[in-house]
Structure formats: C-alpha cells, structure tokens
Structure 1
Amino acid sequence: MTEQTHNFEADTGKILNIVINSLYSDRDIFLRELLSNASDAIHKRKLLGQTQPDILNSAEDEILVAVDDKKKTVEIIDTGIGLNADDLTETLGTIARSGTSSFLDSIEEASDSKNAAKSLIGKFGVGFYSAFMVAEKVVVTTRKAGENGANTWESDGKAGYTITAVSDEHPVGTSIKLFLRKDAKEYADLHKLKGLIKKYSDHIIVPIFVQSKDVEKEQANSAQALWTKSPSEVSEEEYSEFYKASLGAFDEPYITLHNKTEGSIDFTNLLYIPKTAPFDLFEPERKTKISLYINRVFISQDVDGVIPTWLRFVKGILDTTSLDLNVSREMVQNSPRDQKDFEICNETHPL
C-alpha cells in the first residue's frame, strides 16, 4: 500500500471572512489590536537599534491616530521598524503569521530575547485583520528602517491584496489607513476613539496622539504603567491618584498591595482594599473588580479565579504575559496550570 502525504488546501477568502466576522465579539477591539502592533513595531526598532544604531529614530517615538470626519477615514501612523515588500507578503499577506513571533524567533539566541518578549504584545498574527470589521478598504504605506523606498499594501479583505512601490519620501514607519464601512462611521468620531485609547491602550509605554482637522494634535494616553515601577519609586500620592483616576474610586485606599512575582507564572499585581465598603458588598452577584492586562494592554475585567470570590471588594490590576488567551485576546483560556499557580499566589500574597 502506497502512502501519500498532502498539504491541506484552504479557501483563503473564506478563512479571512471567518477571522473578520467571527473571531472578535466586539468591534471596538480593532483599535487595540492596531495600536498594539504599532507599539510592537516601535519596540522592534529600538531592540534592533542596539546593534544597528543607524536605524534608530532620531526623534521621539510616537503613535498618531488621525481622523477625517468628512471622508470617514481613520489613520494609525507609527515611527516603528517598518516593512519592505517581502515583509508585507509574509505578514499581512499570510493569515496567522505573526511578525512579532518571527521577530522573537530571529533573536532567540540574543541575551535580551527574554526582555524583548516581555515588551512585545503580538502573538497570533490575526490582530491586523480586525481592521476589516470596521473598514471596507485598508491601505498600508510603510518604509523599513535602513532601506530605501516605501511600499503600499491595499486590500478590501475579500479579493486578495496589491503591493505597489511608492516614493522614497515616506518616512520610516507604517501608516494604516482605514476607509470606514457605512455601518462603522461612528469610529470617525475623535471623542469615541479617545475613549477607546484610554480604555485599552492608556498604559502602553509609547505616547499615542490624536488629531483631526478641527482638533489640534493632543496626547490621548498616559503612556505609563504605575505598576511597572518598583514600589519604592511610587509615592502614596501616586498610588491614591491611580486608585481614583484609573479604578473609579472616590475614597482613599485602606491598604495597597504592589507585588511582582516570577516563577512558573510571571505577573505583577497592584491591588487596593477600599476604606469604604461597596454598597453591594453582600450581593452574591457582585463580580470582582480586577482588571487583566497583558503587557500593559487591557484585556478584560471579567476573569474568574484571579482572587477568591469573598475578596470581590478588592480593586486593582493584574498584568502578566504567562496566561493563555484565546486567538482574539478577549478571553483567558482555561488552564489547570494557571489556576493552580494563581491559588499558590493567593497563598503567597495573602491579603
């Protein structure tokens, strides 16, 4: 009997349709995904610049979200590493190929590869395609650091894509321009976009600016994550300000717990016990108020098993790179290892 090996065949258009229309439950997430990609691109440029100083950005790194309310477009511009034509084909032209994962593989022998993994966000290679949830057409114009010439990638998310060489005048970095669908015109509202940036990307360590024809360029995120600092570097006033501004509290914290744990699961937590009891403290349906972050990017506030149910009056954040998320990065995958480790953490850092 002769054995034959075959590769799976796939209708790429149908797969992309599934990714666009079925993978994500909330269209708002498209902005989180594109800003995370922009942040990764900037960090990649910095990491590679350690051995190739000529590709470093001579100005301040930033991400700009530009809105045209009349034309109904949203453009995300970064000062990151950029892409050449081959990169565009390999990453944007190949579904589920993560440029970040490939980047980490290429530097895995480097001494700073572990730190690089902690600073980069992308993993699955599908976040970019969330743009098609709100856009009928996406145009990416990009120039790779250290190379001459720029290229434009264009697609409607249905009939493939085109790559065109363009002028050398395009600066190093990437611009992603979304031509909004008729049912997604609300994303041309600068106020709405600022709210989404504050919710999902407020703590990314890259300043995110917004701009429109009627609104001058202004920073929309804080570009800092208080919990990434050493507790000895944070004052009581800073803890209190974060408690009120980021967690929506009105009282002063009774106890503040700021810990970093490394081991089988790495995480940082910043937890607060309030002075004033919540009005629904004894309601069985009250959920925990712990926000889950992955590399400073907000994921969810509806995560079970992080702290015991009876501690549901505790507010705060948990930031980790060790939890397994589903492909859309909206939910935590059930993992006995993670659950066991969190139980150990609760014993290690009792309240």
Structure 2
Amino acid sequence: MKPTEKASISRRQFLASTSALMAGAAIASPVWGMPAYIRNLGKPNSVFKGVQVGVITYSFRSMPSSAEELLRYCVEANVSAVELMGPAAEAFAGAPEAPARSGDEAADKAARAAFSRTLAEWRANVPMARFEQLRKLYKKAGVRIYGYKPSALGANNTDAEIDYAFRAAKALGANQANVEFPQDPAHTLRLGNLAARNKVYVGYHGHTQQTFDMWDGAIAQSPYNAINFDMGHYVAAGFEAIPFIEAKHPHIVSMHTKDRKSKANGGANLPWGEGDTPIANALRLMAERKYKFPATIELEYSIPEGSDAVKEVAKCVEFARKALGA
C-alpha cells in the first residue's frame, strides 16, 4: 500500500483497530503486569514523577511507518508523547511521492532535483488542515506531538519551506521543529529569525561533535534557537552529561536519550542500563529540578532476535518508570 493510500484510513477505522489492539492486550499475558495504557482507561501514559518520556519516530524505522502505524506503536509501547519525523506527517497531508530510482545516475539526479522543486512548492502552499487533523488523531489516542523533524530546515531549503516547517509544527501541537546542527552561523541566524516569526523553537540536534559550548553562538542569535540535546552521543564524545543538563537546561527543548559507552570505552550503543550514559540519574535530576523538556527515547542499539522496535521502546519506557520510582 502506498503512503498516500495508508493516509486515507479514517479516524474511525484507526481508533477501532486501536481499541481491538487494547482489548487483545488486556487478554494476553503482559511482560510487566497489566500495561499502563490499560490502567489509564485505554490511553498511554509515560509521564513519571513529572518527567515526560517520549520517543522519536525514527526509533520505529525498521517497521512500516505511516502516521497511523506510528501512533499504534506509541500506544503499544505506552508512550504518550512523540517527536514526529517528517515523512509520515507529510504523506498524511498529501505530499507528492519521491520518484523511484531507475539505476540511471544522470536521470535519477535530474528526477531528484525536479522532485525537490515540486516538494518545495507543495510545502509553500499546503493548508494546515491535515496537520491539525493528525494532531487531533494523536490526541484522541492519548499521544501528544511535541516535536516535528521534517527535511525542510536545511541550507538548501527555501524560506517558504522553513516557514512551512514551523507552521506545520504549530499545527501538530509541537513547540519545536528540530534539525541537525548546521555548521554555518548564517544559517542558524536565518532559522532563528524564521522560528521567532512563528514563535516555535528550532531545536538543534548534535551527535559526537557536541561540546559544552557548541550551541552558545546560535542561542545568542535568537531566543528561539534552542538545544535538542543527545546525552548518549555527548557521553560517546567523551563528556559528562549531568553538568551539561544542569547548566544548559533553560535552553533545552528536548533531550534524545540513549545508552552509549563513553569515548574511552569505545562508544557502543547498548540497551538501556548497559552503557555509560547516566540515564537514570538524568531522569531523577529532571524530576527533582522540575525540568519541563521531554526525555526522547531514540532507539539505536541493535534489536535482539525475536524482538522488535516497539518491544524495545517499551523496555526503555519501563526502565524510565523504574528509575523514577513511579
């Protein structure tokens, strides 16, 4: 089924299938006792001691990923908040489909360039009604969209595309549109100005290039330039995550949470609790200090045989619940 066909599933059909899923879950033997979304009147709840645990939908990349399917995965994993990647939301809203590769390098390059222009035009003119509908669909199922990450915030994107990213984020109910940290300060200034126009934060995400002061220049440029911190990558780069969180928390809009070994120990991605990233301590700090940004599960370790991304995300949620004593 094409993404646009999947996007046509009605809210009634989806909620009916979700209800059937929950009914089946109530009968099946759960791994950790009765699932929290059964206890909470059929809706997920991943707020523990005031800390919102969420997930980036990139975590489900190994599975079919329409907007409706992603919502079902969140409900199954007991996740009540999400950072939504762009493709699923744009397919739901009727975006043009990317051309299939033909194997002819020159033809494929020309087709991609033409598609980029078509997509930019669509983004500049798309009404926000379908994004608002998607927000309502998620909200009805008990899942809040707090972040949006489309491929529309790069240096090669038009101002109209960037403006679209912030408008769509707002229509989805998000307070942030996130992007990989740009190297060019002129681009963070451009993004910060367009973010301020829409009163939506742009959260800059980092990998192992993260340092304690990496975001300082961008933050000085605009009050809407902010941090989408990745504590796992920060530890793998050789730094201590807790001091960073304590110092920079006013500018953190969300925190990608994964367990990696330190740089000295090789930096491997591992199941939560097996690496060097102080996930439990960071969650407790957030609860004690009442930090309001979400801790976003980003599943990057290898999925064990016999498991899947939904089951592994559910394990991360349960790790967080136990760490917070909820």
User: Normalising by the residue count of structure 2, what TM-score does the alignment of the two structures yield?
Assistant: 0.33
User: Normalising by the residue count of structure 1, what TM-score does the alignment of the two structures yield?
Assistant: 0.31
Larger strand fraction of residues: 1
RCO greater where, 1 or 2, for CA within 8 Å and sep 6 or more?
2
Bigger Rg, structure 1 or 2: 1
Larger helix fraction of residues: 2
